[in-house]
């Protein structure tokens, strides 16, 4: 007997055409379903049908064995036709109806995303990198090299004899390392990049002519190459590229755009060029260089000397190592010099071979960085000196000899001059003529003309 209390209305699609048929659902007998209306009249056993799980109050779909679909609004009476067979669906439906559960799910989801980004993706990328066949890594390195040769690198102009000499030194540095059979050294000229060393996936290390010319001792170059070999041994380039790619792939899956994830895989060589090593990778490569140089009987202080020379030539670490986000240069120099001290303690007979490395204290580093900012400010404003630079006086830490225009912001100025400036500012004095109340602190040569045309002492 038909149960009219179960009559439901919906839209029926036969699965062959796009026509919509308005129909009514009834249960003519227990365990069966009748669909009638708009030219449709069919009966099916409920056991042969599938209904989509409840999701809040969204419409639901009943799927028929032949591909037909029936869409209808969610209705509690459907539960009598299709009792919940899946406990998980029942639990999810119940949780979706409580805002506390929804809020907790959002928090858990966000926490999972953060944990996945910080730990999950790096762990997965590193596991894949260690199991990736060497031929694939080599192929990626060749693609990156081709991109670099088209964009930034030119053929080396270094003499063949010099290249052969450095290649022999490279072979000595790489000898005995697990991946040494795949390691090779290439030379390129890079006028737009300048002094640089690059570690490509697969074992290729590129050294620019400009880097070779910069160093006065080949042991400095050896130290830089040892750093790059550290990147090779740890497969940093591939691991960093995979980490960057997995972020994009995970985002694509999370957004539901799975098709775009394949494009990321194809673009891995470009990702390699655009990625930058993490500080963790740089620290690992530095420590490898220290240990490897010491094992070869070379003081790690030569790495400190190389960093110092590079820092003088290219401020702010802009030159050393492609794909890098280096820690502070001074911190790296200090770490290498400390390793050098330990090396000399273990090999006192090599003390005479130590390079001269000047370590700056914190005050010197702060002043040096301030002066670099001063130079950057002047360059940006197109200022030749203080007289032409009214807009960047505030950031000029190195005052002119007469300390006339930038006493207020000059840490290099004489203490008396700085005190005078503070006194004038407190008294609201614009110049000497208006400064009768602060003559006592004005470091002017002529006391009788303290508020006249006096100038500040030379050299402040």
**pLDDT tens, 283-342?**
999 999 999 999 999 999 999 999 999 888 765 544 444 444 445 788 899 999 999 999
Task: Say which range, 54-63, 153-162, 275-284, 329-338, has the weakest mean pLDDT.
Answer: 275-284
pLDDT at 261: 44
* % of the chain with per-residue pLDDT over 70: 64
What is the distance between the alpha carbons of residues 38 and 33, in angstroms, rounded to a whole number?
17
The string of pLDDT tens digits covering residues 228-259 is 999 999 888 888 877 777 766 565 555 555 45
Task: Provide mean pLDDT across the span 221-229.
Answer: 96
Task: Provide mean pLDDT across the span 193-221.
Answer: 93
* Comparison of pLDDT for 359 and 278, the residue scoring more: 278
* Comparison of pLDDT for 172 and 370, the residue scoring more: 172
The string of pLDDT tens digits covering residues 77-104 is 887 788 765 666 667 666 766 778 778 8
Task: Provide mean pLDDT across the span 148-172.
Answer: 94
pLDDT at 223: 96
Task: Say which range, 180-194, 227-241, 275-289, has the weakest mean pLDDT.
Answer: 275-289
Return mean pLDDT, the chain.
74
pLDDT at 41: 92
pLDDT at 459: 37
Structural domains for the chain: 4-96 (2.30.29), 134-353 (no CATH), 416-460 (no CATH)
């Amino acid at each position: 007997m038909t149960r009219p209390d179960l009559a439901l209305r919906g839209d029926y699609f036969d699965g062959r055409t796009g026509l919509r048929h308005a129909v009514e659902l009834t249960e003519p007998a227990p365990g069966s379903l009748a669909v009638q209306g708009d030219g449709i009249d069919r009966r099916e056993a409920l056991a042969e049908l599938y209904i989509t799980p409840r999701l809040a109050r969204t419409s639901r779909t009943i799927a028929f064995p032949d591909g037909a679909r029936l869409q209808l609004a969610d209705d509690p009476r459907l539960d009598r036709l299709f009792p919940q067979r899946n406990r998980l669906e029942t639990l999810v439906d119940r949780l979706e109806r409580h805002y506390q559960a929804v809020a907790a799910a959002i928090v858990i989801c966000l926490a999972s995303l953060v944990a996945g980004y910080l730990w999950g993706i790096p762990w997965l990328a590193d596991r894949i990198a260690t199991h990736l066949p060497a031929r694939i890594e080599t192929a990626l390195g060749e693609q990156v090299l081709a991109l670099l040769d088209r964009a930034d690198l030119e053929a080396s102009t270094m003499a063949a004899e010099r290249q052969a000499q450095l290649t022999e030194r490279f072979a000595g540095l790489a000898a005995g390392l697990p991946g040494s059979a795949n390691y090779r050294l290439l030379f390129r000229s890079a006028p737009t990049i300048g002094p640089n060393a690059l570690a490509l996936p697969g074992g290729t290390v590129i050294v620019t002519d400009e880097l070779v010319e910069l160093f006065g001792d080949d042991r400095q170059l050896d130290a830089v190459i040892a750093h790059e070999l550290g990147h090779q041994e740890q497969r940093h380039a591939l691991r960093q590229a995979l980490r960057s790619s997995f972020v994009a792939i995970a985002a694509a899956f999370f957004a539901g755009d799975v098709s775009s994830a394949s494009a990321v895989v194809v673009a891995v060589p470009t990702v390699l060029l655009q990625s930058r090593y993490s500080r963790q990778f740089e620290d690992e490569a530095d420590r490898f260089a220290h240990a490897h140089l010491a094992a070869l009987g070379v003081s790690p202080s030569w790495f400190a000397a190389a960093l110092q020379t590079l820092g003088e030539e290219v401020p702010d670490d802009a030159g050393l190592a492609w794909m890098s986000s280096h820690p502070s240069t001074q911190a790296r120099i200090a770490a290498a010099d400390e390793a050098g001290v330990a090396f000399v303690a273990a090999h006192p007979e090599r003390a005479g071979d130590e390079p001269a490395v000047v370590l700056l204290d914190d005050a010197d580093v702060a002043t040096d960085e301030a002066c670099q900012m001063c130079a950057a400010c002047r360059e940006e404003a197109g200022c030749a000196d203080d007289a032409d630079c009214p807009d960047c006086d505030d950031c000029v830490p190195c005052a002119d000899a007469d300390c006339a225009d930038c006493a207020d912001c000059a840490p290099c100025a004489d203490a008396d001059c700085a005190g005078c400036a503070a006194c004038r500012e407190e008294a609201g004095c614009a110049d000497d003529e208006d400064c009768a109340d602060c003559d006592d602190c004005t470091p002017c040569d002529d006391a009788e003309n303290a508020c006249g045309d006096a100038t500040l002492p030379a050299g402040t």
